[in-house]
Amino acid sequence: MRIYDQFYINGQWVAPVEPKLLDVINPANEEVCAQISMGSEADVDAAAKAARAAFNSYGYSSREERIALLERIIEVYKKYYDEVADAISEEMGAPTKLAKGGQAHTGLGHFQSALKALKTYEFNEELGNSEIVMEPIGVCGFITPWNWPINQIACKVAPALAVGCTVVLKPSEVAPLSAYVFTKIMHEAGVPAGVLNMVNGDGPAVGTAISTHPEIDMVSFTGSTRAGTLVAQNAAPTVKRVAQELGGKSANIVLEDADLEKCITESTLDMFSNTGQSCNAPSRMLVPASKLAEVNEIAARAAATVVTGDPKAEGTTMGPVVSDVQFSKIQSLIQAGIDEGSELLCGGTGRPEGLEKGYYIKPTIFTNCNNDMIIAREEIFGPVFCIIPYNTLDEAIAIANDTPYGLAGYIQGKDEKTIRYVASRIRAGNININGSYGDYDTPFGGFKQSGNGREWGPHGFVDFLEVKAISGLK
């Protein structure tokens, strides 16, 4: 069992001010796999002060110095790549193939993208009679989630370090193991003392302390919309900049001319990837009403190929959800879908056959739904999606936008003119066509209650920079 009872503050592993341990549960078997210390306001205070002191030098470092640092981080990350993947699989149940090929790779990808952007990013420009300078905002507080743990750490830390900011990081206490490996990587790569600080804990204690601390200049939060609003409220008295990547209930519009066999199969399997625990999951599939029966047949057939089980077992394509809390929530929402009259195409309540222990959910599809149903409106965050029939293209667009969220949208079809029309009408930050996703340079973020600001690539630098105008030098 792993024991991670220290925090990383000012370049050293230190004991918490008030010792308090939390058991970390392996979702695949419901057994304790680690213990971590839970931080307090005092620990955050020490981390924030270390980050402020470090900013006085790191905030004025040269582009060349920061390029060299990112290059070292990338090389050390490669050394610990498998250890990162193993930690992710253990802490949140990702199958080995996903943990290595997808989850762990995001950490490497974001640092490589930030390095590329840093080499050419324009921090200065001449405008009228002034010089416009982009400077690091200062000390950044990062509160990250459990569903893509390294992805959400790296896509914040990489651009922050690239532009000269210092960091106080609170990873999820539900899935904290990979964050310790990440912090070890940063230390071995020679990140200067105080530039990265890591304090574990929960939202009410450590998250609140980060969002209210006067030495922290901005907060970047990824998680639920409910928690995101609390972070913004807590940050308001000190007028921090707040960047948020929040919930989603993304529509997947299947057009009349789509290749149904291909797109329904791929979309169904995409929905069950990461056990449905992705904020941009295509959880509402909108299909022409005349093709509903055919869609149902293809979707059910695709779902039947999903192999649910032990993340470490060869052939597993879908592991458990992350915790008992998530398991119970998803079970109740599946039951709500049944109770409100949705047609259960496959799956349902209870664990899959043969899996008596672990937070496993049956791959579940509801069909012939309408957008007023609970399962069409709430972010389930599990391997559950609904199929909604539509009669006209404008009706499909209206259904897609009939949600408080706006993180992503998906379109399946052949006619480029129609696809561009639909893409221009969906109110969401990322539109994915025919199974394509953006790369690490593509800005990621949402409209409406899915958040504000953008992460990934050169656009991910913006939230960590202040604009200074220097006039009168000419």
pLDDT class of 240 with cuts at 50, 70, 90: very high
pLDDT of residue 42: 98
Residue 290 scores a pLDDT above 90? yes
pLDDT of residue 261: 98
CB 143 within 8 A of CB 210: yes
pLDDT of residue 224: 94
pLDDT of residue 67: 98
356 is a catalytic site residue: no
Residue 31 scores a pLDDT above 80? yes
CATH 3.40.50.1980 for domain 251-439, yes or no, is: no
CA angle 373, 375, 378 (to 5 degrees): 105
pLDDT of residue 454: 97
Residue 287, helix vs strand vs coil: strand
pLDDT of residue 394: 97
Residue 163, helix vs strand vs coil: helix
CATH 3.30.110.40 for domain 2-246+450-471, yes or no, is: no
343, two tokens:
């047609």
pLDDT of residue 200: 98
165 is a catalytic site residue: no
Q: How many helices (H) and strands (E) does the chain have?
A: 15, 23
Question: Which residues of the chain does CATH 3.40.605.10 include?
Answer: 2-246+450-471
Instruction: Report how far residue 223's alpha carbon sits from residue 227's, in angstroms, rounded to the nearest whole number.
Output: 7
| Single pTM value for the model | 0.97
pLDDT of residue 132: 97
Instruction: Report how far residue 31's alpha carbon sits from residue 357's, in angstroms, rounded to the nearest whole number.
Output: 10
Question: Which residues of the chain does CATH 3.40.309.10 include?
Answer: 251-439
Instruction: Report how far residue 285's alpha carbon sits from residue 249's, in angstroms, rounded to the nearest whole number.
Output: 10
* Mean pLDDT, range 57-81, rounded to an integer: 98
Instruction: Report how far residue 254's alpha carbon sits from residue 410's, in angstroms, rounded to the nearest whole number.
Output: 8
* Other CB atoms within 10 Å distance of the CB of residue 359: 27
pLDDT of residue 96: 97
pLDDT of residue 228: 96
Residue 304 CA: distances (Å) to CA of 176, 317, 320, 330, 439: 32, 12, 17, 20, 30
* Mean pLDDT, range 10-22, rounded to an integer: 97
pLDDT tens digit sequence for 408-425? 999 999 999 999 999 999
Of 245, 263, 386, 455, catalytic:
245
pLDDT of residue 160: 98
* Residue bearing tokens 């990440």: 182
Q: What is the DSSP letter of 456?
A: S
Residue 474 scores a pLDDT above 80? no
Beta strands of 116-275 (E only): which ranges?
124-127, 130-136, 139-143, 166-170, 196-198, 218-222, 241-245, 251-254
Of 140, 155, 165, 279, catalytic:
279
CB 154 within 8 A of CB 167: no
Phi-psi sector, 296: left (phi>0), alpha (psi -120 to 50), beta? alpha
Picking from 63, 62, 18, the residue whose alpha carbon sits closest to that of residue 205 is: 18
471 CB-near residues (< 8 Å, 6+ apart) = 129, 130, 131
